[in-house]
């Protein structure tokens, strides 16, 4: 046996023992060789593969990495490389291969041969995967136990935090809220409230979130100072425990479901600054532990109140600085949040630029279906023919554009190495286009659009080309899906903000309604009652003329009361009726509003400066109320002017339309602008300008329901400008 034969035999035995195989590839001839050990290891039969044969068995997900390493070896960037990739055997089994490659160069440095060793590392990769899954499982178990420990320590941490707060100079209500949190975390299902004395009523300033809204309303409205348990706690300066709660006896309505109560008076010196109260719906008395915790928290709260009283002056001086600091921090956080957002058009354009940088000259267009036509919503590079650009801008019919229809229907890429000119458009406008690649962009499993890349040169779409294009567009789909999620979150946030704004407006209007009932409506009722009695007395005294005067006042009071009631009903209907969103021409609304106020213009000189207005999305009837109210106000408050000027215009605010109505009338004091949009809030006397104070409140509520806003600018005697916004997209 020759030495060379023995050496080769030992080499092959070594390869087989190490579960490795050898291979080589002649770069000049484009052909390769696989050793028998490698053929057995890889489970393939082709012992003399070409580069295409090599890549055919490489998993498509790993081909870019293999090609990249191959390119680095050929270019001289690397002399050897180690790479792991997935390999598809002829029997359909996928294994993991580790390939160690060396390059041999000619004397002039030109790469001539590639040599390599490959081995099966599937078991190693599977072991690594198993270890990773085990680590994940252990981490989950540790996290679960950590949550349990955190839950057990939550009450202790809360009490420690409260103790720390009690030793510092902080706001009383903030501390009371923390005390309520400590009691809730420590004792479980208890309800906690902190009261302060105002107008002989104990009014709840802080209460735990478990209170039913109707109960919280009762506590916030105030409990009489002589309510038995409240009074006892203040008189004795001691904790009062009430084992059997009687809502009627305690004068605390809506609390019949509670079984026990407790009260801790918070005295600073001889003054009772507050009252800490706790209740439970569990029947029976308080346990010793519950009593001890309640006393401890009450004492800590009292101590904090004492310290807070001493530090209040300094705290008030620092409030402005703290407010500015919080505003800057909030703005910084908002800026960070905005920087995390992703614009879909920007993502698409960046993807197109990347693709075009890897391909011969051409252009890229992202197509979407709208109203039965394909429209290119994002385009990069000139299309090379003005008539083709016109056709693209006009849109292509769905069902008659095979290059786009086919990938849309199949959800699979469609590559044309020889573009079928005339299939999608007139053949003359696409003579310069020779190859086209189209890949559907999937978002949530559905086709959101088609990425279309026409090339101006002949191009045979190789497997590598297709993989790069398909992988890049797949990444775009994932990014768009992420961006869509962010957009949905923003929409939900805006909806919540609108809901909060409407709720705040409702609360303000409820307060105003209560005020009106006790003042605006009661005043005409008193007039009716008082002057009716005077009229009766005048008739009894045989003075019919005087009686008629009194009855005229009764009539005017009744009309005033009817006007207020009608205004409230109109306001209620406008804010509760279901919206019917459709396209609305604001020009038509303004013209109708001018007709509605025409009776007020008789004998007056009014100059109307109305610019063209946009078409918006909204409820035409509700938006008509907005325009009529604003123009009616402009007409009314400018009637003292010999030459009244009323202007209406619109500005493009990006995602919204910004509209304005300006007059040169009486104006108002800007210091009271915050009252302008409240129900029954009027900045002028009834003698100067009639009205109910409901119109602008109605305008505000309608705009809130449409996702808009309204503001007002004015100076006394210099007219007023009302600005409001409407989103371009319906909400």
pLDDT at residue 326 tops 50: no
- Write down the pLDDT at residue 318: 58
Average pLDDT over residues 447-453: 93
H-helix segments, 519-676: 522-540, 544-576, 586-596, 620-637
Give 645's pLDDT tier (boundaries 50, 70, 90). very high
Give 317's pLDDT tier (boundaries 50, 70, 90). low
Between residues 452 and 560, the one the model is more confident about = 452
pLDDT at residue 332 tops 50: no
The per-residue pLDDT for range 102-148, each reduced to its tens digit, is 998 888 888 888 888 998 888 888 888 888 888 888 888 888 777 65
Q: How far apart are CA 86 and CA 122, in angstroms?
A: 9
Q: Give the residue from 616, 612, 613, 588 showing the smallest Cα distance to 729.
A: 616
Average pLDDT over residues 598-609: 83
Share of the chain above pLDDT 90, in %: 33
Give 187's pLDDT tier (boundaries 50, 70, 90). confident
Between residues 374 and 479, the one the model is more confident about = 374
Between residues 350 and 82, the one the model is more confident about = 82
Give 304's pLDDT tier (boundaries 50, 70, 90). confident
Q: How many CB atoms lie within 10 A of CB 543?
A: 14
pLDDT at residue 232 tops 60: yes
Is 645 in a helix, a strand, or coil?
strand
In the predicted model, what is the mean pLDDT of the chain? Answer: 81
- Write down the pLDDT at residue 494: 66
The domain made up of 12-120 has a fold known as: Beta-Lactamase (3.30.450)
Share of the chain above pLDDT 70, in %: 77
Provide CATH code, domain 577-727: 3.30.565.10
Q: How far apart are CA 9 and CA 15, in angstroms?
A: 10
To the nearest 10°, report the CA torsion of 310, 312, 317, 320: 150
- Write down the pLDDT at residue 5: 47
- Write down the pLDDT at residue 579: 63
The per-residue pLDDT for range 167-181, each reduced to its tens digit, is 665 678 888 998 898
Give 595's pLDDT tier (boundaries 50, 70, 90). confident
The answer to whether the CB of 269 falls within 8 A of the CB of 237 is: no
Q: Where are the domains of the chain?
A: 12-120, 164-324, 344-476, 577-727
pLDDT at residue 11 tops 80: no
pTM above 0.75, yes or no: no
- Write down the pLDDT at residue 724: 93
pLDDT at residue 50 tops 50: yes
Q: How far apart are CA 547 and CA 542, in angstroms?
A: 9
Q: How far apart are CA 268 and CA 202, in angstroms?
A: 17
The per-residue pLDDT for range 398-428, each reduced to its tens digit, is 999 999 999 999 999 999 999 999 999 999 9
Kindly state which CATH superfamily the domain 164-324 is placed in. Answer: GAF domain (3.30.450.40)
Q: Establish whether domains 12-120 and 344-476 are of one fold.
A: yes
Average pLDDT over residues 196-221: 93
Q: Give the residue from 116, 52, 119, 115 showing the smallest Cα distance to 85.
A: 119
The per-residue pLDDT for range 665-714, each reduced to its tens digit, is 888 888 877 777 765 555 555 555 555 556 788 888 888 888 889 898 98
- Write down the pLDDT at residue 600: 77
The per-residue pLDDT for range 265-297, each reduced to its tens digit, is 999 888 888 999 999 998 888 988 888 889 988
The answer to whether the CB of 453 falls within 8 A of the CB of 415 is: no
Provide CATH code, domain 344-476: 3.30.450.40
- Write down the pLDDT at residue 363: 95
Q: How far apart are CA 701 and CA 710, in angstroms?
A: 10
To the nearest 10°, report the CA torsion of 301, 306, 311, 316: 70
Between residues 702 and 204, the one the model is more confident about = 204
- Write down the pLDDT at residue 496: 67
Residues in the chain: 731
Between residues 589 and 547, the one the model is more confident about = 589
Give 325's pLDDT tier (boundaries 50, 70, 90). very low
Which of 329-343, 364-378, 549-563, 591-605 has the least mean pLDDT? 329-343
- Write down the pLDDT at residue 208: 93
- Write down the pLDDT at residue 167: 62
- Write down the pLDDT at residue 2: 45
């Amino acid at each position: 046996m020759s030495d060379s034969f023995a050496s080769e035999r030992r080499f092959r035995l070594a390869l087989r023992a190490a579960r490795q195989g050898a291979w080589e590839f002649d770069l000049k001839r484009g052909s390769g060789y696989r050793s028998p050990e490698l053929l057995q290891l890889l489970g393939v039969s082709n012992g003399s593969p070409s580069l295409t044969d090599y890549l055919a068995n490489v998993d498509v997900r790993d081909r870019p990495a293999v090609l990249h390493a191959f390119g680095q070896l050929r270019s001289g960037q690397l002399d050897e490389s180690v790479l792991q990739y997935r390999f598809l055997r002829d029997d359909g089994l996928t294994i993991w291969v580790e390939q160690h490659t060396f390059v041999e160069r000619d004397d002039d440095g030109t790469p001539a041969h590639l040599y390599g060793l490959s081995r099966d590392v599937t078991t190693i990769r599977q072991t690594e995967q198993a270890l990773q899954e085990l680590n994940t499982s252990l981490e989950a178990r540790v996290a679960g136990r950590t949550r349990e420990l955190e839950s057990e320590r939550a009450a202790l941490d809360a009490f420690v935090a409260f103790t720390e707060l009690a030793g510092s100079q902080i706001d009383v209500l903030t501390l009371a809220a923390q005390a309520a949190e400590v009691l809730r975390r420590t004792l479980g299902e208890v309800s906690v409230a902190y009261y302060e004395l105002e107008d002989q009523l104990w009014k709840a300033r802080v209460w735990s979130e478990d209170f039913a809204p109707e109960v919280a309303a009762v506590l916030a409205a105030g409990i009489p100072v002589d309510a038995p348990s409240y009074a006892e706690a203040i008189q004795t300066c001691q904790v009062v425990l009430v084992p059997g709660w009687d809502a009627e006896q305690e004068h605390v309505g809506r609390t019949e479901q509670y079984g026990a109560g407790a009260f801790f008076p918070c005295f600073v010196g001889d003054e009772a600054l507050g009252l800490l109260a706790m209740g439970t719906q569990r029947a029976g008395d308080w346990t010793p532990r519950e009593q001890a915790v309640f006393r401890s928290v009450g004492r800590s709260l009292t101590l904090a109140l004492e310290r807070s009283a001493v530090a209040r002056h300094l705290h008030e001086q620092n409030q402005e600085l703290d407010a500015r600091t919080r505003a800057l921090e909030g703005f910084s956080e908002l800026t960070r949040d905005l920087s995390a957002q992703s614009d879909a058009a920007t993502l698409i354009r960046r993807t197109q630029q990347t693709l075009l940088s890897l391909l011969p000259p051409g252009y890229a267009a992202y197509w979407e279906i709208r109203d039965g036509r394909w429209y290119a919503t994002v385009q990069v590079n000139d299309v090379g023919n003005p008539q083709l650009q016109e056709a693209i801008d006009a849109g292509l019919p769905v069902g008659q554009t095979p290059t786009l229809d086919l990938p849309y229907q199949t959800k699979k890429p469609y590559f044309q190495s020889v573009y079928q000119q005339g299939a999608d458009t007139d053949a003359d406008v696409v003579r310069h286009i020779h190859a086209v690649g189209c890949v559907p962009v999937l978002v949530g499993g559905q086709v959101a659009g088609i990425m279309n890349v026409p090339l101006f040169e002949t191009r045979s779409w190789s497997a590598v080309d297709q993989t790069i294009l398909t992988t890049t567009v797949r990444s775009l789909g994932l990014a768009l899906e992420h961006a869509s999620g962010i957009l949905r979150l923003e929409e939900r946030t805006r909806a919540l903000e609108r809901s909060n704004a409407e709720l705040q407006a409702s609360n303000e209007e409820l307060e105003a309604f209560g005020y009106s009932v006790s003042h605006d409506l009661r005043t005409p009722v008193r007039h009716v009652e008082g002057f009716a009695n005077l009229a009766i007395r005048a008739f009894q005294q045989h003075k019919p003329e005087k009686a008629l005067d009194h009855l005229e006042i009764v009539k005017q009071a009744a009309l005033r009361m009817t006007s207020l009631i009608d205004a409230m009903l109109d306001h209620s209907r406008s804010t509760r009726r279901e919206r019917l969103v459709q396209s609305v021409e604001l020009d038509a609304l303004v013209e109708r509003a001018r007709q509605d106020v025409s009776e007020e213009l008789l004998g007056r000189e009014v100059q109307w400066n109305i610019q063209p207005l946009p078409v918006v999305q909204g409820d035409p009837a509700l938006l008509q109320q907005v325009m009529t109210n604003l123009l009616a106000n402009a007409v009314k408050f400018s009637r003292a002017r010999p030459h009244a000027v009323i202007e209406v215009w619109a500005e493009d605010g990006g995602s919204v339309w910004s509209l304005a109505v300006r007059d040169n009338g009486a104006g108002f004091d800007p210091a009271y602008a915050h009252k302008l949009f409240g129900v029954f809030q009027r900045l002028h006397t009834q003698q100067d300008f009639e009205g109910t104070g409901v119109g602008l409140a109605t305008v505000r509520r309608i705009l809130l329901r449409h996702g808009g806003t309204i503001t007002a600018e004015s100076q006394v005697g210099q007219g007023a400008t009302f600005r409001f916004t409407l989103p371009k997209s319906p909400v």
